[in-house]
Amino acid sequence: MDNSGRGRRNAIKLVGAAAAATTLLAMAGCSSNSAAPEGDGDVALEFAQWWEPELPDGEFRALIDQFEEENPGITVELVSGPYASTKEQLFAGAASGTMPDVVGLDGAWVSDFAQQGVIADLSQLMSDAGYDDSQLASQIQVDGSTYMIPVVNFVYPMFTNDALLAQAGVTAPPSTRTEFADAAKKISALGGDVSGWVLPLSLEAPNGVQNDVMSWVWASGGSMLKDGQPDLTGADVTSAADYVQQLWDDGVIAPGSFTMKEQDKVEEFTNGRVGMMIDSLAHINLIRESNPDLAFSISAIPAEDGFTGERGIPYASWGIGVAENSEHKDAAFKLVEFLMGKDVNSELSTMAKAFPGNTESEPTFVQDDELFQTAFEIYKDGYPANEFTGLPVAEELMRLFGEQFQSALDGQQSMSDALEKAQDEWAAKF
């Protein structure tokens, strides 16, 4: 990404370096000949993903049946399983060169898959098909070519406890860093076990670095990369890190950060012990079910004072790609094109309670729920931002940063020293 924060809907550009094997996906037992033509030119495609088990029974298969009806001669076998088992199986398939024709992808796998040559260049397939990619919200690229298209996105806005904000005299969710710091102080001043903000920094599950620290960078249109390389000592990351350090020094962050994981963060918010958190939209229903009496709001992550550009919003995606070993890439891309179509993408995002990868699609669930509607407006006004997507050994990078960041927060070193050390450690991994 560039540092302007503008024009980000085109592509998310990634470094072309290898990711760790532990972050890979592959599908075992899927032969490269499984998609061989059948009968009089008929094509059978295999589509490996973890999506079907996470959607209402039968709904995804019905969507695929629609594709088959619209594309006579192409049939699709869904190879479905839970995320974890799909990950293990796809790893073996990538190693043996027997990937299914179409694959569900996590952005963390894209760089290594592209470097291995096991997923196809979608830029070329789009060009060959005469496909107009202007409606795609984002594309995941390696060395200038697209290898994954996010089909639906699960975003991470800011959640605020309405009652705690009101008690603290805060009339609206903060929209700037200054307003956020002021609100956090006022909420913490309520006393008891209440804190202004919750920050999970567990090194065992270090995604708090991505979702809760770097999100401050992206919310102001910034970047942790420059020319595809780490830029942790640059102005964008330095500003965000210093800001979090000040919040820490002000005592407004919930205790236990260094061992806290994402699920702990959600529990703290759900139980009314923190006023604000950055979290996945997917947890709205979980929070409601766990505490029906909790009134809360959704808003954009606060930006630097005076910032007027597009705000990046952290996200995770169900991505899609095509196997390089597929004998029917044209047919495989037709399935990709189908799922990214305006109406179908609206339907799929509605099923998943996620936001569409097509900028012109709109899931119907946002019309019936005020919080989802607000979050959808935030999503449309900004751009999906997650620069860890596709980086080499992404989880290890988060952990390395988290180790230095914790040390700075704890007063063992300055934040500038922490960022310099993390910069050097990251550079060695690229």
Low-confidence ranges of the chain (pLDDT < 70): 1-41, 84
Instruction: Kindly state whether residues 255 and 319 are assigned to the same domain.
Output: no
Report the relative pairing of strands 145-155 and 355-356 from DSSP bridges: antiparallel
Instruction: For residues 105 and 79, state if they share a domain.
Output: yes
Find the radius of gyration of the CA atoms of the chain.
22
pLDDT value of position 33: 38
Evaluate whether residue 387 is within a structural domain.
no
Q: Is residue 199 part of a domain?
A: yes
Residue 78 belongs to domain with CATH number: 3.40.190.10
pLDDT for res 84? 59
252 shares its domain with 397: yes
> Do 50 and 108 lie in a common domain?
yes
List, for residues 170-224, the tens digit of each pLDDT value: 999 999 999 999 999 999 999 999 999 999 999 988 889 999 999 999 999 999 9
Please classify residue 312 by burial: count the beta carbons closer than 10 Å to its beta carbon, then call 0-12 exposed, 13-18 middle and 19+ buried: buried
* Beta carbons within 8 Å of 53's beta carbon, 6+ residues apart: 80, 81, 82
Q: Tell me, what's the pLDDT at 407? A: 98
Domain-located, residue 304: no
The verdict on residue 385 lying in a domain is no
- The answer to the question of residue 6 being in a domain is no
Same-domain check for residues 45 and 109: yes
Residue 143: inside a domain: yes
Residue 7 lies in a domain: no
118 and 40 fall within a common domain: yes
pLDDT of amino acid 120:
97
144 and 166 housed in the same domain: no
Does residue 258 share a domain with residue 196?
yes
Domain count of the fold of the chain: 2
Residue 4 inside a domain? The answer is no
Q: Are residues 183 and 277 in the same domain?
A: yes
Give residue 41's pLDDT: 59
Question: Distance of CA 201 to CAs 155, 211, 282, 330, 394, Å?
Answer: 19, 10, 20, 44, 15
Are 244 and 286 within one domain?
Answer: yes
Do residues 159 and 276 touch, judged by C-beta distance below 8 A? yes
**Domain containing residue 288:** 158-299+393-427
In this structure, the answer to whether residues 168 and 270 fall within a common structural domain is: yes
- CA torsion 331→335→336→337, rounded to 10°? 90
What pLDDT does 425 receive? 98
Q: Are residues 135 and 166 in the same domain?
A: no
